[in-house]
Structure 1
Amino acid sequence: MSKLLATKPIETILGEAAETGNTTLKRTLGPTNLVALGIGAIIGTGIFVLTGPTAALYAGPGVVYAFIVAAVACVFAGLCYAEFAAMIPVAGSAYTYGYATLGEIFAWIIGWDLVLEYAFGAATVCSGWSGYVLSLLQDFHIRLPPEIAGTPGTPFVYWQGHWELLSRITMKLAQTGVDPNTLPHRYGVFNLIAFIGIMAVTMILVIGIKESANFNSVIVAIKVIVLLIFLWLGGETLMHHQELLKMNWHPFVPPNTGTFGQFGMSGVMRAAGVIFFAYIGFDAVSTAAQEAKNPKRDMPLGILGSLIICTVLYILVALVLTGLVNYHDLNVPDSLAVGIDVTGVRWGSFLVKIGALGGLSSTMVVMLLGQSRVFFSMSKDGLLPKFFSTVHPKFQTPWISSLTVGVVVATFASLIPLAKLGEMTSIGTLLAFIIVSAGVWVLRKRRPELPRPFRAPWMPVTPILGIVVSLAMMLFLPWETWARLIIWLIAGMFIYVFYSRRHSKVQIELGEEVAGD
């Protein structure tokens, strides 16, 4: 048991972070890049994809409260991440922090869990991204066959001479008195748009971190401007048509249906657990610590700055969206496009869809960046095969790791429904936050003398609240999501027992020490 709890010395981790040469990651990111990486990941799925379905299924307009609850949890976890990222500026994020404080078995669990956060997260984003692509293509009268336009089982109906995504036109059918059951149906088989999107982003990441970050920074500027335009157009519409607010905001928190988690306060808490996915960008910033020019100064700025900016935008957009559209009609992958259509501003609708595509693209960049860097760190420690830490001699990126992650994520995005992806990502993220919060607390006790360029305030209250709030949101997620998490972790333990434990550099060193004694 003691071997399973063996920690990786912080001095060793810091030594690896200081390495230079063609086999190491290149330090090219400044504070602006890091804040943009955070915003790039945070402002994406939460606003453009999950806000609508979460309001429709769990909380109604009360999804605003869900954003606030999730943000509070993020503040506590974010402070813990900021302390770790400034102190241990390496690519592994929560995995490395767990290895340094709680031991190898916890490091493996969190590393395997981060696949849920980043890989499933990127797949979730791409699922929504493909919805906006299809919506934009329809504006130009281009429609793909249903079989390659949705994940398996996604229903399409033939209406007004075209195959339409059923969830996209449910409101229109209700307004015209058409029963969707009377229309011809076909179903998705493979989401080709999602597959292509992930692979395109993967190629950008293979080319280089600086190029990826510059691409992300441009896209972030565009999507923030687009969101401000959405708020302006939507706010102006609501000012002139206040009857929409009376109709769509009452009740602000719909009464519980009698089922736990479906509206009412339990629905708000369940929505917070699901919508929490929208905030994972700030911890994805920590995976780029080994590529930051001055991580001790800039990592806290990137993590906490992006979190504050995005929380304000989230709340404003959620208020406007649920004011424009009744929450019953928001269970679609392109809810902002539905919202802007209500304003009747044609150019606004086109602009929001373009912004959503760019925004979700930048989120995919950061999620895939995070996943490949975690695998890079696990491979360097011997817990995954060596090829995952192979660095391209020209681009200085973990190119095999990026390609492997890209293919797997593209397959996820093409075959798994959006709602299931989002819930799996949320529970994986929350588990990561719990371990990071615990790790900061443990390290403060064990190694109080270590230099900490940034110190999380209010110890031990901050990590305790990070643990408690994150665990509370996990408990409000559906039991099926818990079952999938348990199955996922069991599968990971098989890999650890039969491969990782035998190839772990820490375990090998421990064995050599025992043999030497």
Structure 2
Amino acid sequence: MQEPNVKVVGQTACEADYLEKRQLKRFAGPLLLWGLGVGYVISGDYFGWNFGIGAGGFWGLFVATILMGIMYTTMCLTISELATAIPFTGGAYAFARKAMGPWGGYLAGIGVVLEYVLAPAVIANGIAGYITFIFPGLPKWVLVTGVFIIFLAMNTFGAKTTLNFELAVTVTALIGLVIFAVFAFPHFDATKLLEIAPAAGNTRALPFGLLGIWAAIPYGIWFYLAIEGLPLVSEECNDPAKDMPKGLITSIITLLIAAFTVLFLAAGTGGAKAMSVSGSPLPEALGAVYGNAHWVIKLLGIIGLAGLIASFNGIIFGAGRAVFALSRAGYLPRFLSIVHPRFRTPYVAILVGGVIGITSAIIGNGDILIQIAVFGAVISYIMMMLSALVLRVREPKLHRPYKVPGYPLTPVIALILAIVALFAGFFYAPKVILWTALVYLLFVMYFWLYSRHHLVAKAPEEEFAILAKAEEELN
């Protein structure tokens, strides 16, 4: 006999107060969304992108950065439509669930989870390495664990405090980029862009030919990676229909300006050859003309840490929401979606993701981790663009407070470039296929054998799909 406080929903049962324990608090406006959208990515301007010069030469990376800039811009415009029509925390999962059913939603959602849970592990090692440079002798595992504990606690004890902090460190990191530009611009030398020696049969402009552009695409992605996670905050927006498009569009504009400013001035000041192997390209670029003892070099190093912290903190915030949404609907274990009774934060998802991140950072291979994260991200891009196209056909009357300009060309461009980016990852690092396929296979097996039989119909994304299907049958 069924207990009085339990009701059957969908294919499983849950407590009567199931959703009450899983409600987030609305507080975010366009400014906080902009801070989070830029903060997700800003560390990519301070490190990582420059290795693309070694893969494709300066102009090869330049073309790759343009292509990925077009992909992310068209994707942000398309996501703005999806996020206002389907304003749930699940982001890519919620969009694909609405368009392609549980399997589509799950595959898209797992891509986001992989990206957001594993990326902090890579960034934590970068933060630990920077701190070790300042204070040598501290064990890496102590630093990694300490950094995670600080920001897991912040994310647990208040979403508004977390995003206000995120806004502050993001603005600080952007000020660092302005300082860099002011000091680098007078010393820009276009001849330094062509320092990479060409391979046989190629030119200095494209030292590795057209294949060099393809090889540089993963590094072009680094200038924008993670901005697509902004809709993970939809249920914490004051007005998703108005605020989410503003947050996405202002964020991508800011990141485009930052990307090309950094790309040209770093290579044109420090030299393409030196930048292609640099672990800290912006300070080293200025060090080449001012000397490493100059005060601005030290200042940039400190501000660069703010950029790393902004991305680390922001992605932990997004990871909690990605896991929370899939868990609330039953795709992942349901206990992961319980929110803190006082702070209304998905603290279980945040803490479990943090434990995985700490473990991955200490024992994992950083190259493989970032490959899996990027691969998962690109899978979610493809699923989101397909969702936009499918929903326009299947549900033309769906309420869309914001409509993507240039439809269908805009999402089609993003879709084609996402597929190109997917295969560029294969080209750059073939082992990503094996590792990511293995991780995806484990998640797919879990869904096929268990969680697809235990979905929660009253979860917002599931209820949205059920009501739409009922309306369609009625009509």
Of 265, 273, 277, the match for 1:331: 277
Q: Map of 1:357-376 to 2, 5 A cutoff?
A: 357-376=305-324
The offset of 1:436, in angstroms, is 0.3
- Listed one character per residue, the Cα deviations across residues 390-441 of structure 1 (whole Å, up to 9, x for unaligned) are 1101111011110010111122223334433333222221111110000011
Give the superposition deviation at 1:58: 4.2
For 1:117 and 1:263, the matched residues in 2 are separated by 29
- Aligned equivalents of 1:426, 1:130: Cα separation in 2: 22
Take 2:59 and 2:137, find their aligned partners in 1: how far apart are those partners? Answer: 33
Secondary structure of the corresponding residue to residue 279 of structure 1:
coil
Aligned to 1:485: 436
2:194 corresponding residue in structure 1: 250
State the 1:444 CA deviation.
Answer: 0.8
Structure 2 CA distance for partners of 1:460 and 1:225, relative to 1, 3 Å: same
- The counterpart of 1:144, out of the listed 119, 122, 137, is 137
RMSD: 2.8
Deviations 1:478-511, CA, capped at 9 Å, x for gaps: 2211222212211111111232122123599999
Q: Displacement, 1:23?
A: 4.2
- 305, 308, 318: which one aligns with 2:263: 318
Amino acid at match of 1:480: K
1:410–1:96 CA distance, 2 compared to 1 (3 A): same
Per the normalisation by structure 1, the TM-score is: 0.79
Give, in whole Å, the separation in 2 of the partners of 1:43 and 1:309: 10
Identity of aligned residues (%): 24
Residue from 195, 214, 219 that aligns with 1:269: 214
Distance 1:471 1:253 in 2: 30
Matches within 5 A, 1:63-74: 63-74=61-72
Does residue 219 (structure 1) correspond to residue 165 (structure 2)? The answer is no
Q: 1:468 to 1:395 in 2, by over 3 A?
A: same
Contact 1:73 1:469 (C-alpha < 8 Å) held by counterparts: yes
Q: Report the AA paired with residue 36 of structure 1.
A: G
Tell me, which stretches of 5 or more residues in structure 1 are unaligned? Answer: 1-7, 10-18, 150-190
Q: 1:476 aligns with which of 424, 442, 447?
A: 424
Q: Is 1:340–2:286 an aligned residue pair?
A: yes
Q: Identify if the C-alpha distance between structure 1 residues 362 and 253 changes in structure 2 by more than 3 Å, giving closer, same or farther.
A: farther
| Cα distance change of structure 1 residues 127 and 271 upon mapping to structure 2, 3 Å threshold | farther
1:161-194 deviation digits (Å, cap 9, x = unpaired): xxxxxxxxxxxxxxxxxxxxxxxxxxxxxx5433
User: Is the 1:201–1:361 Cα contact (8 Å) retained in structure 2?
Assistant: no
Contact 1:37 1:281 in 2 (8 A): no
Which residue of structure 1 lines up, in the alignment, with residue 42 of structure 2?
A: 43
The answer as to 2:143 corresponding to 1:193 is yes
1:460 equivalent to 2:408? Answer yes
The letter of the residue matching 1:94 is A
From 165, 182, 185, give the equivalent of 1:232: 182
Secondary structure of 1:128 counterpart: helix
Give the structure 2 partner of residue 393 of structure 1.
Answer: 341
Deviation at 1:60, TM superposition (A): 4.1
User: Once the 2 structures are TM-superposed, how far is the Cα of residue 252 of structure 1 from its aligned partner?
Assistant: 6.8
Match of 1:379, as an amino acid? S
User: For residue 222 of structure 1, what is the amino acid of its counterpart?
Assistant: T
Distance 2:344 2:414 in 1: 35
Task: Report the CA distance between 1:336 and its aligned residue.
Answer: 2.4
Deviations, residues 11-38 of structure 1 (Å, cap 9, x unaligned): xxxxxxxx99674100010110001111
Deviation digits for residues 212-251 of structure 1, max 9, x if unmatched? 000011111111111110111122233xxx4xx42x3225
Aligned length: 439
When structure 1 is superposed on structure 2, of 297-306 and 46-55 the one drifting more is 46-55
1:194-218 CA distance string (max 9 Å, x none): 3322232111111111000000111
Which residue in the other structure is 2:456 paired with? 505
Q: 1:23 to 1:480 in 2, by over 3 A?
A: closer
The one-letter amino acid paired with 1:334 is: S
SS of equivalent to 1:505: coil
Distance 1:69 1:293, change over 3 A: same
Q: How far 1:257 moved relative to its partner?
A: 9.2
Deviations, residues 302-349 of structure 1 (Å, cap 9, x unaligned): 111101111111111111112233444443443323223223262211
Instruction: Give yes or no for contact 1:121–1:425 (8 Å, CA) kept in 2.
Output: yes
Say if 2:88 and 2:235, in contact at 8 Å, map to a contact too: yes
Measured in 2, the distance between the counterparts of 1:485 and 1:114 equals 13
Rounded Cα–Cα distance in structure 2 between residues aligned with 1:257 and 1:229: 40
| More off after superposition, 51-60 vs 21-30 | 51-60
Q: Counterparts of 2:128 and 2:201 in 1: how far apart (Å)?
A: 32
Indicate if the aligned counterparts of 2:232 and 2:318 stay in contact, CA closer than 8 A.
Answer: yes
Query: Where does structure 2 lack aligned partners over 5 or more consecutive residues?
Result: 1-8, 11-17, 470-475
Q: CA deviation at 1:255?
A: 4.1
* Residue 349 (str. 1) matches residue 297 (str. 2): yes
Q: Which stretch shifts more, 490-499 or 308-317?
A: 490-499
* 1:297 aligned residue: 242
Per-residue CA distance 1:454-493 (angstroms, 9 max, x = gap): 1112222222221111101111122211222212211111
Query: What is the distance in 2 between the residues matched to 1:346 and 1:414?
Result: 34
Separation of aligned partners in 1, 2:34 and 2:439: 32
**What's the offset of the Cα at 1:299?**
0.2
**Aligned partners of 2:207, 2:323: CA distance in 1, in Å?**
37
**Which region of structure 1 is more displaced relative to structure 2, 417-426 or 368-377?**
417-426
Report the counterpart of residue 285 of structure 1 in structure 2.
Answer: 230
1:20 and 1:489, CA in 2 relative to 1: closer, same or farther beyond 3 A? closer
CA shift at 1:49, angstroms? 1.8
Structure 2 Cα separation of the partners of residues 121 and 88 of structure 1: 26
Q: What secondary structure sits across from 2:407 in the alignment?
A: coil
